[in-house]
Amino acid sequence: MKGPHNIWRLVRTGATLERTGAMRVVLDAMEAPPALRVAARVLGWPFKWLGIEGDPSMPPAPRALSALGPAYIKFGQVLSTRPDVVGDELANQLRVLQDKLPPFPTEAAKAQIEAELGLPVDQVFSEFSAPVAAASIAQVHKARLAETGETVAVKVLRPGIERAFRRDVDAFWLAADVIEFLSPASRRLRPRDVIAHFEGVVMGELDFRLESASASEFAANTANDAGFSLPEVVWGLSGRRVMTMSWAEGVPLGDNAAIDAAGHDRVALSERVLQLFLNHALRDGFFHADMHQGNLKVAPNGDIIAYDFGIMGHIDEYTRRVYAEILYGFIRRDYRRVAEVHFEAGYVPADRDVDEFARALRAVGEPIFGMDATRISMARLLSYLFDVTERFGMETRTELILLQRTMVVVEGVARSLNPRMNIWSVAHPVVEQYIKTSIGPRAVLRDLQRTAVVLARFGPRLPGLVEEALIRQAEQKDRHPDRRWRRNALWLVFGAAIGAAAVTLMQSWL
């Protein structure tokens, strides 16, 4: 329940942050305003003794978040991908939360599997290892199928995680209300919408049936992508709390020494990982939204392997076109067009001046293009763009949160492989190709064809729709006895006739 009783949870959170030394680290990294600093101290310092001590061997922020529970850990994972928000130092500290958390006992995992599948573990698997990776929501075991001898990865949900997560998220709702109250300017960021979005995404992670479906859809979309592969879901051994997939053999994408030792080209890998993400986001509108190094490997044949499909992003075609035009405008340094796209999409209020907005965007883009290739950063662009759009009244677009966050993550992965990578040069061909196929003349014809198909479906219903409309017009005539209803009825019949003819013609073309 979201309510005042969650004040205790916020007090416990502040006390834990204070006791572990994370309070000052987090506030400094995020450049918190004075009001929030005071509130944090009030919630933390007097109750420091109530805080959870955590693991002293960990840095302050990961130590505090690990002690507080799964939802806090998940937020820490999100922040670890946003050095533009929390700074490089804190982001690096938080990366330990990605896949290096304490595991739960193997026997508990086996009990979870048996309860979910209704079969003894020894009957299904001839081998079953200790945990090979542990995250905030689940852990992974390496196993061998008794029937076929195939090596698989078995992902098991942490026992009791659903209840624990709901309890923690309840406190986040109260925290969002407190932030809005203490800092009215933050309402533009729509913190409650952000929490709702976050809750929806992670609740989806708690059902492995949804993750299995996402993996299957992602595999179908990317089947023809060169240099990219995914493990296959073993549907018969997967359910709500257990997910079994083929084992992905390879070296971690974050281990440069191992990549070099295996003879892989890191420059080519850095370009491929960025272009793959852009293709998935723009071409398919369905992308892996947790593409950090812990979820990527390089296969012996050089393919990039992605796994862990708990967080997937989806954007509709219109939003993809808007996003592509914004990116393409920046790549071409056409700031006027970037400004127009913001206005056309309704991202910026219509009463603002488009020329002034274009000049502000130029101030964002030109310094970045003047930088050396090693310093050009999508994260920096998004940070500057955020500042400018805030000044022009643009609200946070919750549907783009995952897209923007993943773009920053993927850039970080690419840069770790090749620090001298030029982001714009690598992104240009993908974005340009999408623009040609989705915004040019061919796209117009395709949109018209789709419209015709939709209209054709209404063909059999047109007589009924016209009859309903005429009845409404007759009722209007009874209430307002003048000649306008006759004129409206005639136009309605005429329009229906034209519509029927158009639908018939379209059906003949299709």
E strands, 191-230, are 228-229
What DSSP line would sit under 41-76, residue for residue? HHHHGGGGGGS----TTS-HHHHHHHHH-HHHHHHH
Can you give the pTM of this predicted structure? 0.72
The DSSP symbol for 302 reads S
Neighbour count for residue 88 (Cβ, 10 Å): 11
Round to whole Å and give the CA distance between 138 and 101. 10
The DSSP symbol for 255 reads -
Half-sphere exposure of residue 194: CA atoms within 13 angstroms, side-chain side: 21
Round to whole Å and give the CA distance between 90 and 19. 18
Instruction: Parse the chain into domains and list their residue ranges.
Output: 4-98+163-202, 250-439, 443-509
Tens digit of each residue's pLDDT, the chain (510 residues):
555 566 777 777 778 888 887 777 777 766 666 776 777 776 666 777 777 888 888 888 888 888 887 778 877 776 665 555 566 677 777 777 765 567 899 999 999 999 999 999 999 999 999 999 887 789 999 999 999 999 999 999 998 888 878 777 777 777 777 767 766 655 555 667 767 766 777 777 889 999 999 999 999 999 999 999 999 999 999 999 999 999 999 999 988 999 999 999 999 999 999 999 999 998 999 999 888 888 899 999 999 999 989 888 888 888 888 878 887 888 788 999 989 988 888 888 888 899 998 998 888 778 776 666 566 666 566 666 666 776 777 765 656 666 777 887 888 888 889 988 888 788 888 888 887 777 666 666 665 666 666 656 665 666 666 667 667 666 665 555 555 555 555 555 555 555 555 545 444 444
List the catalytic residues.
Answer: 290
* Helices and strands (H, E) in the chain, number of each type: 23, 10
Cα separations (Å) of 114 from 119, 124, 161? 5, 10, 18
Q: Which residues pair with 139 in a beta bridge?
A: 134, 156
Contact (Cβ atoms closer than 8 angstroms) between residue 271 and residue 304: no
